[in-house]
Amino acid sequence: MSLSSSASISSTAAAGLSNGTHPANVGGVRSPLQLFFPSNKLQKHMLFSAAATKSGSVVVEQGASKSSSAINRIGSLSQVSGVLGSQWGDEGKGKLVDILAEHFDIVARCQGGANAGHTIYNSEGKKFALHLVPSGILNEETVCVIGNGVVIHLPGFFEEVDGLESRGVSCKGRILVSDRAHLLFDLHQVVDGLREAELDKSFIGTTKRGIGPCYSSKVIRNGIRVGDLRHTDTFRDKLDVLLSDAASRFRGFKIDENMIREEVDRYKRFAERLEPYITDTVQFMNDAISQKRTILVEGGQATMLDIDFGTYPFVTSSSPSAGGICTGLGIPPRVVGDLIGVVKAYTTRVGSGPFPTEILGEGGDILRQAGQEFGTTTGRPRRCGWLDIVALKYCCQINGFSSLNLTKLDVLSGLEEIQVGVSYKQPDDTPIQSFPADLHTLQHVKVDYEVMPGWKTDISSIREYSKLPMVARHYIERIEELVGVPIHYIGVGPGRDALIYK
């Protein structure tokens, strides 16, 4: 099988809690820390971490043994670690978070909303598509935190919780929602669609889940936060301001008294159900840090969609890069340790915007079908292309990744050759030294590709790095050489166990 790129090609050969209480205050009762962190969870993590220092040790996990390489990799991670996307999203972050979550006390989302779809599989191979609930939910002893930087659509949140519960995944007492998180209403979703229609051919390509309009409400300071649900006397007035603002801006948005009354009644019911989840997560997270609890931060979307660092304006509305961890959870930068960047063995993106290494036509279709590149949230087909080293190095600079997780390496099996975009040039062949902010420049770059041989072997059942085909190992090691960051995790399939530790 052979794919060709649409970009210009020139072959390149070388170059806590402190007082023992939980801050959620329901009816004046404060829950003990032990409610969230049973002693066996803490003991398990301590044993696992200790085992990481002993080469050749084995930790038994659900009837299976972990290799010493897995123990060393996971056990050596920092108290506060993170998993972030290093392309345009959809890299497979949820799977790694799910695997690592068993060894962390807390898994926390810091930004984004239900536009972040993570597909994971449990130990029995059952598929779960998560949107708001952190991917650590399948691990029974993990507490999941939805931080202040997240925007939360309550109907979707409860639908997700109900779906998990119906499939045997307990959510009770395991999900904490920040009282500072902003509420995303149906009106935001309507406005999202109206805004995209208004842009016509210059549309952003959003998921139409209302994420951008909700963050807009937050920034112009007429947003409504989770904590506002506790004040029914002022909630109606705040909702009226939101609805009136949308109606004044868009002709297609209509409101009336009945709509407002029905929405207020609806959210009164939501407020009652949400109350056990509502928490001062800033206090919770910082007290957990002081108590030496381990925290894994799960990023949504990815750095190339960052509102500041992405291909603006074709970006999301939050900060899915490293800086979003601190602002979205209220924790200080000094406590953040290892950050793992997740990157596909090739590149994809959805929606509009420049994509220098995109493969157009049949070649892109072949890669899309082989990788089943269709959105978890929307089902939209993803645009596919070769791995873009320039963009990846840029993401590594911004985030300071300590290691990378290369996913979907198995998708490249069967290709006669593999190309890697190693540098950019201007149309006149002038080298471009960094990832350009200017979209006009980015849309017209010429990509220099390095061509490598492919492999025919099906690698989806391989679990040891040394057993990968030599050309596959060369591909991995060449990426490490070009980017300057080690690849410690290699995904060779969608299953929970389809991971090689390097």
DSSP 273-288: HHGGGEE-HHHHHHHH
Burial-class residue 291 by CB neighbours within 10 Å (0-12, 13-18, 19+): middle
Domain with CATH 1.10.300.10 in the chain: 183-278
pLDDT at 31: 37
Q: Say whether 410 counts as a known binding-site residue.
A: yes
Provide the pLDDT confidence category of residue 19 given band limits of 50, 70 and 90. Answer: very low
Q: Higher-confidence residue: 198 or 285?
A: 285
Instruction: Point out which residues pair with 501 in neighbouring strands.
Output: 489
Instruction: Check if 245 is active-site.
Output: no
Q: Is 344 a catalytic residue?
A: no
pLDDT digits (tens, 9 = 90+) for 211-244: 989 999 999 999 999 999 999 889 999 999 988 8
Query: Which among 41, 66, 90, 488 is annotated as catalytic?
Result: 90
> What is the pLDDT confidence band of residue 25, given thresholds at 50, 70 and 90?
very low
16 marked as binding residue: no
Residue 28 has pLDDT above 60, yes or no: no
Q: What does the pLDDT average to over 134-162? A: 95
Is residue 14 predicted with pLDDT exceeding 90? no
Q: Residue 57 and residue 59: Cα distance in Å, rounded?
A: 7
Residue 127, marked binder: no
What CATH architecture does domain 343-501 belong to?
Alpha-Beta Complex (3.90)
Q: What is the pLDDT of residue 15?
A: 34
Determine what percent of the chain is predicted with pLDDT higher than 70.
84
Q: What is the pTM of this model?
A: 0.86
**Closest CA relative to residue 216, chosen from 256, 255, 177, 249:** 249
492 is in an annotated binding site: yes
Bridging pattern class, strands 60-61 and 487-491: unpaired
218 is catalytic: yes
* End-to-end Cα, the chain, rounded Å: 28
Q: Is the pLDDT of residue 396 over 90?
A: yes
**d(C-alpha 340, C-alpha 428), whole Å:** 37
Query: Residue 499: phi, psi to the nearest 5?
Result: -140, 130
Check whether domain 183-278 has CATH 3.40.190.80, yes or no: no
Find out whether 347 is annotated in a ligand binding site: no
Q: Which one is catalytic: 218, 344, 446, 488?
A: 218
281 is in an annotated binding site: no
Catalytic residue among 66, 103, 118, 446: 118
